[in-house]
Structure 1
Amino acid sequence: MHISLTTSVYISLTRERERERMAGNQCCSNPPVMDPGSGEGSVEELGGLKVYTSGSPSSKMAVILISDVFGYEAPNIRMVADKVAASGFFVVVPDFFHGDPFAYSNNKPLAVWLKDHGTDKGFEEVKPVVEALKSKGFSSLGAAGFCWGAKVVTEISKSKSIIQAAVLLHPSFVTLDDITGVNVPIAILGAEIDDYSPPALLKQFEAILIAKPEVDSHVEIFPNVKHGWTLRYNVNDEAAVNSAEEAHRKMLEWFSKYVN
């Protein structure tokens, strides 16, 4: 059967749009109920951004958590921040979306929202936060990125002068070239069911990192979980809670090893 070039292009575009639709649904499934008063910490300004902070400011070790598209007021990312802070780190969760996280109630498709909230902006805005932390005496910094935030963390992990360790959790938008440029110890925690970073891509990430013995790395694919499982899990599902907590524990172990 002969397929014309026009038909072939149409089929290709249709498949690409379907992949985007599926990935968008997976990226934004089980959205959190925002609660600006959640968490044990407080909200302040740092590096020109509002940030949720948790932990002792007298610590010399700080961790930046960069959220998924739902932002810094989501209760679960604040809970993770409190958990990391309890191990001796000062933790900040910046509001890179300036009070405008993704929300279905806005009737704005994810692709449209992303045009105004690109990871490139996040990369530029995280640098003043890093500088502000260093000016306050924090001598060792780590960063973890969830979904959207993983791309930002990957960018800052290309320079040894910005952070000392990185963790990516169900990353989005991260490319092979990005991973090639990583220069700090990095752990990548991915999901078995993930349209943004499927296991095949994570295996490619792993191969690149193995070929860089000067950069310690760990890549792990968690079975039976979907993209977003570390933040947007069903709190009434014991297996889902256990998988999320296991990822949190491994993230914390990575920071305990390299941010000191």
Structure 2
Amino acid sequence: MSTVVRTSIGSVCVCDGININIAKPLSRQCRFFPTSVSPLLSCFQKKCDLNLPRPVQDAADSKISCSLLNVQDGIDDEEACELVSGVELSIGEGDDTIRAYLFKAVKNNNGTGLLLLSDVFGLEDSFTRDFAYRVACNGYNILVPDLFRGNPWTKEQADVFEEWIGRQNPERIAEDISRWTKWLFDEFMAAGISKKLGVVGFCFGGGQVLKVLAQDHGSCFGAGISFYGTRMDPIAASDIKAPVLFILGDNDPLCVVSEIQNIQKKIGEGSKVVVFPGRGHGFAHRPGSPEEDVDAEHAYVIMRDWLYDHLVV
């Protein structure tokens, strides 16, 4: 079990020999997962203590800090601040520091830990954060690591994407993911809170899902979800021991349906491919039209049910 020690400059979470620096609560941003049919409504700013977190009593039910979130029907302002807490974490020191955000369900926490691997826009992207908030609202504890160590891709770099991606060392990314996976294991599985972890990824992160599960061999992760994964390694599929849900559109040149179906067959029984007709890349976590909003909502429900059936029940 991790313990948090208050200091004059912040809090330090010591986790089985790894120092986890709890830097600060999440900043107040007012852009949330857009969907025209979602029960989640508008964001609001609640006057609650957003200074430093309180000491953690238990990994499953501790309240790290209040933060903003979308509000469900029937939930008043007083309750809404209690639904999800968020905090920035870091492992390592100096140039070896790697950051992550942890979103925790404060009420109705089911104890399950999830790893969310972002697209190339990184953990600071509002769409990624909004999605993580929403998943946490469903009772999960979801960790979003900084895969690119503060250097995500931006649209201004459109002409040099291959150059940018070439600078992202795959061995370094894999090692960073492994370190955060160990933290999740210590925080939830070793503590006896969660039976298995889950991993979810979008685009670039969706491709990383296969690598993570192939290296894991079923020891930590009980399920994976890949949204329109890119740069996937079909060879890794045969080493995966956990069921994987693939969600994609049939109009996505970066994630071809036939290739995903072949990968799914290599993984074997229990995995599933869900194809949305007419949808392109990124529709589920950054929808760009009312029609995509509807399919994004449907994809979210499919993902939510998959997580529940494979990790909670």
In the alignment, is the contact (CA less than 8 A) between 2:105 and 2:137 conserved in 1?
no
Q: How many residues align?
A: 220
Code of the aligned partner of 2:104? G
The AA in structure 2 aligned to 1:78 is: R
Q: 1:220 aligns with which of 274, 277, 297?
A: 274
Q: Deviations over 1:201-255 (max 9, x none)?
A: 122223334xx33xx1111111111011122321xx2111111121122111111
> Displacement, 1:71?
0.7
Q: Structure 1 residue 144: deviation in Å?
A: 0.5
Larger helix proportion of the pair:
1
Paired residues for 1:66-77 under 5 Å: 66-77=117-128
CA distance in 1, matches of 2:169, 2:298: 29
Of 231, 250, 259 in structure 1, the residue corresponding to residue 302 of structure 2 is: 250
What SS does the corresponding residue of 1:102 show, helix, strand or coil? Answer: coil
Of residues 244, 248, 251 in structure 2, which corresponds to 1:193? 251
- Matched letter for residue 77 of structure 1: T
> In the alignment, does 2:88 pair up with 1:44?
yes
Unaligned runs of 5+ in 2: 1-25, 30-67, 70-84, 93-97
Deviation readout 1:164-222 (Å, 9 max, x if unpaired):
1100000101132122222101101111111222122122223334xx33xx1111111
- 2:211 aligns with 155
CA contact (8 A) 1:50 1:94 kept: yes
Secondary structure class of the residue paired with 1:224: coil
Higher-RCO chain (CA-CA 8 Å, sequence separation at least 6): 1
Q: Aligned residue for 1:62?
A: 113
Give the Cα separation in 2 of the matches to 1:256 and 1:53. Answer: 19
TM-score, length-normalised on structure 1?
Answer: 0.77
- The root-mean-square deviation of aligned C-alpha atoms, in Å, is 2.2
Change (3 A) 1:119 1:168: farther
Q: Distance in 1 between matches of 2:86 and 2:138?
A: 18
| SS, match of residue 149 in structure 1 | helix
C-alpha distance in 2 between matches for 1:240 and 1:84: 19
Looking at structure 1, the residues matched to 198 and 111 of structure 2 have their Cα atoms a distance apart, in angstroms, of 12
Q: 2:311 aligned with 1:259, yes or no? A: yes
Deviation of 1:105 (Å): 2.7
Distance 1:75 1:110 in 2: 21
**Helix, strand or coil at the partner of 2:105:** coil
Distance in 2 between the 1:243 and 1:118 partners? Answer: 34
The C-alpha deviation readout for 1:31-77, integer Å capped at 9, x for no partner, is xxxx9643645341144432222123775211111010001111111
Q: Do 1:36 and 1:73's aligned partners in 2 also have CA atoms closer than 8 Å?
A: no
Q: Secondary structure of 2:262's match?
A: helix
> Out of 143, 148, 151, which is 1:92 matched to?
143
Q: 1:219 to 1:51 in 2, by over 3 A?
A: same
Which consecutive segments of 4 or more residues in structure 1 shift more than 4 A?
none
CA contact (8 A) 1:66 1:146 kept: yes
TM-score scaled by structure 2? 0.65
CA 1:60–1:69 in structure 2 vs 1: closer, same or farther (change >3 Å)? Answer: same
Identity of aligned residues (%): 22
Amino acid of the structure 2 residue aligned with 1:182: I
* Partner residue, 1:27: none
Counterpart amino acid of residue 240 in structure 1: E
In the alignment, the residues of structure 2 paired with residue 229 and residue 101 of structure 1 have an alpha-carbon distance, to the nearest angstrom, of: 20
Gaps of 5+ in 1: 1-34
**One-letter code of the match for 1:247?**
A
Report deviation, 1:86. Answer: 1.3
Q: Distance in 2 between matches of 1:53 and 1:69?
A: 19
SS of alignment partner, residue 204 of structure 1? helix
3-state SS of paired residue (1:137)? helix
SS of corresponding position for 2:188: coil
